Amino acid sequence: MSVPLSLSGKVALITGGSRGIGAETVRLFAAADAKVVFTYQKAKAQAEALVKECGPAVCRALPSSLDSAGAARGLVAEAVKQFGRLDILIANHGV
């Protein structure tokens, strides 16, 4: 069953987006016309492949450990820098 979803004009930040549920969420948001910034910690090859799959015009990967409040603030600032705004946050990374 398909669910129509339009996120046109929205920008999402998805943490832990390089594999598994996170990667599927990135794909879903990109397919719904959102621009997506997602993080990875160690899975650089998977992250790069996902950006290529979704298209670099709408999808960007950022390395991040999110081990402090400062890292989180920096990540949000970088996401805004990539696409000019931030509308949606999906916290999917593991601890």
pLDDT of residue 14: 98
CATH assignment at residue 17: 3.40.50.720
Rounded CA-CA distance 44/63 in Å is: 8
pTM for this entry: 0.92
Per the domain annotation, does 29 fall within a domain? Answer: yes
Which residues span the domain enclosing 60? 11-90
Q: Is residue 94 over pLDDT 90?
A: no
> Are 31 and 59 within 8 A, CB to CB?
no
Residue-wise pLDDT for 40-87, tens only, equals 999 999 999 999 999 999 999 999 988 899 999 999 999 999 999 999
pLDDT of residue 4: 82
Cα–Cα distance measured from residue 14 to residue 36, given in angstroms and rounded to the nearest whole number: 7
Is residue 2 in some structural domain? no
Q: Is residue 62 part of a domain?
A: yes
Per the structure, the count of domains in the chain is: 1
Would you call 27 exposed, middle or buried from its count of C-beta atoms within 10 A (0-12, 13-18, 19+)? middle
> Is 27 contained in some domain?
yes
Tens-digit pLDDT profile for residues 21-43: 999 999 999 999 999 999 999 99
Q: Does the residue 60 lie in any domain?
A: yes
CB neighbourhood size of 62 (10 A): 17
